Amino acid sequence: MRGKKPAFYRHSGGMAAALAAAAVLSACTVGPDYVKPAVDAPKAYKEVPPESGPWKVATPRDQASRGQWWTVFDDPVLNELEQQVAASNQNLKAAEAQYRQARALAQAASSAYFPAVTAGASVSRYQKSSNAYGVVPSIRGPANDFALPLEVSWEADIWGRVRRSVESAQASAQAVAADVEAVRLSIHAELAIDYFLLRGIDSERDLLTRTIVAYGKAYELTVNRFQGGVASDADVAQAETQLKTAQAQAVDLRVQRVQLEHAIALLIGKSPADFSLPVVDSNPLPPGVPVGVPSELLERRPDIAFAERQMAAANAQIGVAKAAFYPTISLGAVGGFESSKASNWLTWPSRFWSLGPDAVITLFDADRRKAISDQAQAAYDGSVATYRQTVLTAFQDVEDNLAALSILAEEAQAQDGAVKASQRSLNQATHRYTNGAASYLDVVIAQTFALSNQRAALDISRRRMTASVRLVKALGGDWSVADLPSGDAVLAEKKDKK
């Protein structure tokens, strides 16, 4: 300390009274206690088929290993790819870093429960004015000041400002943790969708490869008939057109496959140049996905948990804002050593100390605190609306994909019939043309319809697999709100491994 030495205060009785008052009032926490708003959940999903089928009402953990919902698709290659997401996906790593930031902020907020202790040391030489008030005329020369103060300050959390701040920070950190799981679920689902789209393209390329072989044979037949004087040049041109068109379509599929392969590489944290998937002709069917009951969805969707925790954080901020209307009571203590000579700086006679409470209240701020309180209440009201909208959107997601799976199953059955019928039509048209009973135009038309129906069937298959993955995602994968870190876990001192 410099200049005038601090006064000596002996307020042991006053301090005891202040501490007793703080202890009595510490249970006072202003602001509303958090209660999760009620939402209306239907008793059952509308789009579940009456016969249930693969969409039976059951717990999703019946078929999926915890945390590995993609195993229900029974594809070893997909399983291997999904395992690489947690270790290598950069978006997921960024989300996890955001959670560590939120947890650190919560830990910082909780530090206000404890006193702040500061220490310092200073050495100075000073000269006071001879004309200054209170300066002893005989002491005019330069002087030294050696100071070693230690200061302790603590704000009594009488109105719960600190508690509400910590409560808000804890809920915010939990919300970020839920958001991490939402990112994780989204990445895993996107990977599965891209994978099945790629496999669908492989099946379509296989179809076009077989079609090109068939069209090539038809073209050779037409050329031979033309050279024999049986067919016209127009027939040859039509056959060649069909062949070249199929070849162009096969080449075009390569663009889509390459782009999907690159997208998968990005999801597993690899450079597209270092990743490739071999071509595999597969046409998987959607697995059974137990949907459970709608009320379970509120506990299984990480985006719902995110919105709910955001709501809890906003509710706590109302208490923080209301605490500003009450006095701030602090307890402070300062002590240390001070001397004008270094030789006796740290001796007992050089000690100084001061101890006492401090109370401050704002008497006028032009309704600033009221505006902040109104803002906190409005933020909470907005978070409630966001939470309820998130719940409604979640129900919509499930219903949309249930309907898609149910309708696409019917469409696939009808399309299979169309494929068989178009193939019979093609066989008949080719037979009639070979026997000279029909023109090659009939063959071209039949070929076009047959290929179109086969590609449509493969497209329906891809859409069914996509809807299946999206249904699993809409149901929250295999996540549960019980997996969120507790408030105590958020404040734990355990360090994350780098």
Inform me whether the pLDDT recorded for 432 exceeds 60.
yes
Cα(first)–Cα(last) distance of the chain, in Å?
A: 43
Inform me whether the pLDDT recorded for 307 exceeds 80.
yes
Domain 31-113+160-326+367-491 belongs to what architecture?
Answer: Up-down Bundle (1.20)
How far apart are alpha carbons 15 and 140 in whole angstroms?
Answer: 39
How far apart are alpha carbons 231 and 236 in whole angstroms?
Answer: 8
What pLDDT score does 133 carry? 61
At 18, the pLDDT band (50, 70, 90 cuts) reads very low
Inform me whether the pLDDT recorded for 192 exceeds 90.
yes
What's the whole-model pTM score? Answer: 0.85
Name the token pair of 487. 């408030």
Q: What is the CATH number of domain 1-30+115-156+327-360?
A: 2.20.200.10
How far apart are alpha carbons 148 and 167 in whole angstroms?
Answer: 37
For residue 11, the number of C-alpha atoms closer than 13 Å in the C-beta half-sphere is 17
Select the more confidently predicted residue: 126 or 158. Answer: 158
pLDDT above 70: percentage of residues in the chain: 87
What average pLDDT does the structure give for the chain? 87
For the ranges 15-24, 144-153, 286-295, 341-350, the lowest mean pLDDT is seen at 15-24
Domain segments of the chain as ranges: 1-30+115-156+327-360, 31-113+160-326+367-491
For the ranges 158-172, 280-294, 432-446, 484-498, the lowest mean pLDDT is seen at 484-498
At 371, the pLDDT band (50, 70, 90 cuts) reads very high
pLDDT mean over 221-233:
91
The angle that helices 302-323 and 161-227 make with each other, rounded to 10 degrees, is 150
pLDDT mean over 327-338:
91
Say if CB 48 and CB 402 are below 8 A apart: yes
Residue 191 phi, psi (nearest 5): -65, -45
pLDDT mean over 277-305:
88
pLDDT mean over 133-155:
77
What pLDDT score does 292 carry? 82
